[in-house]
Amino acid sequence: MSTHPNAPAPPQELIDWFSSFPPFVYDPNAGIQSNFDRLAAQRQWGHKLKNKRWYECQKIAFAALYGDATDASKLEKWQELCREVHIMNPPPSITQCRKVLGSPNVRVNIVNLIDHRLTGVPVIRFPNYATFRDYTKNRMFPREEAKEEGFLKALLRRL
């Protein structure tokens, strides 16, 4: 996968996280999971540590790319996310944006959203639950990280 011409440079927070595991070198042309899998293989992490580090990595990437609690209080950020997941006429309030993003027919994968902002790959909006579940089973974001009101809480689904 190559970096989309309009994709911004990877956020420094993400580069710093990967750089904290020398001699690993982050590849901006690869998605987050590809980079992480290379790092985990290089470090020979066991299952438990690999999962812990994967969740850390995703949390840092999502916050750096989509914002924090401050950004979650800005209507334009919610509307931007709506457009990103193919809701072409975003609602006029944060409450309505949360509601439409949380509706059962809005099925997007968090790892895909991260990669969209990192590399410019298209956002996949899954047509049904079965295809969403199949795609997502190895690309999961920890539900416990989305307890705060925010973008993640609106997007996470039970599998």
pLDDT tens digit string along 97-128? 999 999 999 999 989 999 999 999 999 999 99
- Kindly write down the DSSP assignment for every residue of 67-98, as one continuous string: --TTGGG-HHHHHHHHHHTT-SS--SSHHHHH
Contact 94, 73 (CB under 8 A): yes
Domain assignments of the chain as residue spans, ordered by start: 12-155
What percent of the chain clears pLDDT 70, i.e. is strictly above it? Answer: 89
Predicted confidence at residue 14, as pLDDT, reads 96
Q: How far apart are CA 22 and CA 37, in angstroms?
A: 15
Confidence band for 2, pLDDT divided at 50, 70 and 90: very low
The token pair at 72 is 């979650």
Backbone φ and ψ of 25, nearest 5°: -120, 120
Which helix (H) or strand (E) element contains residue 127?
none
User: What crossing angle do the helices spanning 47-66 and 32-43 adopt, rounded to 10°?
Assistant: 150
pTM (2 d.p.): 0.85
Assess whether pLDDT exceeds 90 at residue 80.
Answer: yes
The pLDDT tens digits for 29-43 are: 999 999 999 999 999
Q: What is the pLDDT of residue 149?
A: 60
| Of 139, 22, 130, 120, nearest in space to 65 by CA | 120
Task: Write down the mean pLDDT value for the chain.
Answer: 88
Give pLDDT tens digits for 8-21.
788 999 999 999 99
